[in-house]
């Protein structure tokens, strides 16, 4: 009987509580502009490929309330960086987090929002006119990395834009690991050479 009760959960330690991730985490990126998807988004003309880009778009890697197991949560994204031969080699990737249940498509939606604030006895009409306040719903932080000498390390071949300036293209893998902290690592990739860590940082949990 004792063995049966233990198998049913009696006489055993209670299961460990798995903490949920308190926020969603991701990165701010630019995408090829598509009218029906990016209408109203800030945009610019990419001097490398001549395409119109929608700026300030979100790519979410970790969802709010995801269980943080003992091994943590690991997620990654591949990004492309183009840079001129003579340009500075210090860059940044903007990370963002959000405590909303819905993951916004644009970074502008997570900086702050208006929420209704009703006082006792206040009518809905008065609330719609005056009873709103700004509340922060997330934040941002830059992850820095440097590509000094990366063309030699990874064996990159120079490209040329129509005006003749030389530039390089490097693939980046940005990895996020959520445990008791949020660690970000930036690695430069080339299928024919060993990868090289080029930067990283820590975000608030």
Residue 72 to residue 94: CA distance in whole angstroms: 22
Q: Average pLDDT of 65-92?
A: 93
Identify the band that residue 39 occupies on the pLDDT scale cut at 50, 70 and 90.
confident
Cα–Cα distance for residue pair 37/52, rounded to 1 Å: 13
pLDDT of residue 135: 56
Residue predicted with more confidence, 74 or 130: 74
Give me the mean pLDDT over the 85-106 stretch. 91
Quick check: 5 pLDDT over 70? no
Q: Report the DSSP beta bridge partners of residue 45.
A: 52
Lowest mean pLDDT among 11-25, 36-50, 79-93, 180-194: 11-25
| Confidence at residue 176, expressed as pLDDT on a 0 to 100 scale | 97
Neighbouring residues of 1: CB distance < 8 A, sequence distance ≥ 6: none
pLDDT, mean of residues 89-112: 88
The answer to whether 20 and 68 are in contact (CB under 8 A) is yes
pLDDT at 33 over 80: yes
Predicted local distance difference test score (pLDDT) of residue 116: 53
**Does the structure show a pLDDT above 90 at 60?**
yes
- Band of the pLDDT at 95, cuts 50, 70, 90? very high
At residue 192, the pLDDT reads 85
Rounded CA gap, 80 and 159, in Å?
14
pLDDT higher than threshold 60 for residue 117:
no
Task: Examine the pLDDT at 16 and tell me if it is beyond 50.
Answer: yes
**Bridge partners, 47 (sequence order):** none
pLDDT at 35: 87
Calculate Rg over the CA atoms of the chain: 23
Domains of the chain: 22-108+139-203 (2.60.34)
Q: What is the pLDDT of residue 197?
A: 96
CA separation (Å) from 159 to 81, 85, 151, 165, 166? 13, 10, 12, 8, 5
Q: Name the pTM for this structure.
A: 0.80
Region 151-168: what's the mean pLDDT? 87
Distances (CA, A) of 170 to 39, 55, 101, 160, 195: 29, 20, 34, 14, 11
> Length of the chain, please?
205
Give residue 47's pLDDT.
86
């Amino acid at each position: 009987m004792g063995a049966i009760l233990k198998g049913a959960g009696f006489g055993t330690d209670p299961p460990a509580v798995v903490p949920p991730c308190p926020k969603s985490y991701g990165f701010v990126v630019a995408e090829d502009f598509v009218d029906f998807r990016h209408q109203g988004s800030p945009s610019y003309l990419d001097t490398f490929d001549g395409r119109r880009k929608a700026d300030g778009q979100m790519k979410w890697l970790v969802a709010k309330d995801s269980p943080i197991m003992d091994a943590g949560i690991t997620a990654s994204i591949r990004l492309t960086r183009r840079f001129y031969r003579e340009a500075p080699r210090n860059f940044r990737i903007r990370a963002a987090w959000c405590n909303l249940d819905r993951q916004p498509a644009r970074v502008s939606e997570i900086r702050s929002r208006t929420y209704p604030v009703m006082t006792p006895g206040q009518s809905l009409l008065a609330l719609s006119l005056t009873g709103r306040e700004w509340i922060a719903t997330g934040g941002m932080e830059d992850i820095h990395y440097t590509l000094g000498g990366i063309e030699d390390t990874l064996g990159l071949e120079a490209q040329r834009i129509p005006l003749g300036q030389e530039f390089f293209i490097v693939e980046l893998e940005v990895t996020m690991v959520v445990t008791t902290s949020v660690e970000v690592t930036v690695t430069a990739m080339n299928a024919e050479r060993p990868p090289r860590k080029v930067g990283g940082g820590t975000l608030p949990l």
